[in-house]
Amino acid sequence: MKIAETVKMKVAYLDYSPVYGGAERVLDSMVRHLNRYRPLVIFPFPQVHHNRYTFDEGDRVYLAEGTQWWMGRDRWAHPPRGSDALARTIFGIRLVIILKKYGVRLLHVNLLRRDCMLWLLPARAVGVKIVGHWRSAATDWIPPNRVIRLCDRVVCVSDFNRRMLCEVCETERSVRIYDCIEPFHIPQEEDRELKKLLAGLSPKVRLIISVGQLTPYKGHDLAIEAFARIAIRHSDTVLLIAGGGSECERQRLNELIHKSGVGEGRILLPAIHFSDMDYLYRRAEVVLSLSHGGEAFGLVPYEAALAGRPFIGVDCGAIREFVSDGVNGLLVRDNDAEGVADRLECLLNNRGYGQRLADSLAGDVGKYLKPQVMTHQLEKLYDSLLL
């Protein structure tokens, strides 16, 4: 059986994330680059970060017009007991109604979570095929078997990620498909100058950026400690921590910055908007991605390479599947502040070496991690379930 050229089968993508982060950027690329399937992205209710998606407005639908009394923590700071389960149950019923209305036979869950069983039970009950996307490196976030069994396939974002899943859950349904990487839009010169002014940085500053959500796991504390070791010798450098998230973590990092003793204005922790990231990557001389324990996949090293910037990462997690130390990136042991400082010295003293590392990794991204590669693999997976 072949898919007709003029009529594309629909596949629905469920996105219940409260933020627009790495997983959501990948979803955006997936939807825009589908070839033989027509996407329908389903959100629980409208949120501000949905404006950042670039796919067609006609390819999205909402399960509710806004927050309702029954939506648990989505509605209440202190939700009544049982209201989160009630919300997931109602969303699950509304989800299957939408799927039947649009004639969708396959549901792709962009972030498979431990608590999504009630979301998926109604769809499973009416015979909808379910693909779950698991993207975490945290073992305590691994979905239980009762969730895995609701999925016809579980997509893991790396071999490292898949091994973690297989140690805890059933293995037969899992498949590895790497996330895709797209370059950010390159702003015009006047926009870049404006962003320099907004960031308060002189063009002469040699900028080091540590990129990631503001959580203890992302390793910004390690970046601060390492920068403090080289700050005196490289007085023209500034460390900028680029990420949004927890205010508690922001406060903790500010305390670490104060204790570092590097001087006022040498370590910056501004509010970063997603649209600033292209400017920051291209303004930076070195990019740090120091997540403790490594990443399930991790977009930052590859985004940095596409912007022509070298990176320093921790030598654990999925990064080993594409990066070799000294070949297309620099890797250090986890929690090794001295090692990070030494690698910073190396890159700051030899820009040509850093450029060669970035160019090498950018070539691998263009070959193995472009959106067309990912969507081709996904469409083959969808074919195996629907045809």
Domain contains 1: no
The answer to whether residues 133 and 232 belong to one domain is no
Domain contains 118: yes
Domain contains 139: yes
The answer to whether residues 375 and 351 belong to one domain is no
The answer to whether residues 236 and 377 belong to one domain is no
The answer to whether residues 206 and 268 belong to one domain is yes
Quote the pLDDT of residue 172. 80
Express each pLDDT in 60-73 by its tens digit: 999 999 999 999 99
The answer to whether residues 260 and 320 belong to one domain is yes
Quote the pLDDT of residue 21. 84
The answer to whether residues 55 and 147 belong to one domain is yes
Domain contains 3: no
The answer to whether residues 86 and 31 belong to one domain is yes
The answer to whether residues 173 and 221 belong to one domain is no
Domain contains 209: yes
The answer to whether residues 360 and 309 belong to one domain is yes
Quote the pLDDT of residue 141. 84
Q: How many domains does the chain have?
A: 2
Quote the pLDDT of residue 166. 86
Report d(CA 123, CA 106) in Å as an integer: 9
Quote the pLDDT of residue 197. 43
The answer to whether residues 319 and 195 belong to one domain is yes
The answer to whether residues 88 and 203 belong to one domain is no
The answer to whether residues 129 and 214 belong to one domain is no
Quote the pLDDT of residue 19. 84
Domain contains 4: no
Whole-prediction pTM: 0.89
For residue 351, give its domain range.
Answer: 189-368
Domain contains 54: yes
* pLDDT digits (tens), the chain, 387 positions: 454 455 689 999 999 998 888 899 999 999 999 999 999 999 999 998 898 898 888 789 999 999 999 999 999 989 999 999 999 999 999 999 999 999 999 999 999 999 999 999 999 999 999 999 999 888 778 888 899 999 999 999 999 999 998 887 767 889 999 999 987 654 444 445 435 544 567 778 899 999 998 999 999 999 999 999 999 999 999 999 988 778 999 999 999 999 999 988 899 888 776 666 777 888 899 999 999 999 999 999 999 999 999 999 999 999 999 999 999 999 999 999 999 999 999 999 999 999 999 999 999 999 999 999 999 999 999 999 998
Domain contains 39: yes
CATH number at residue 219: 3.40.50.2000
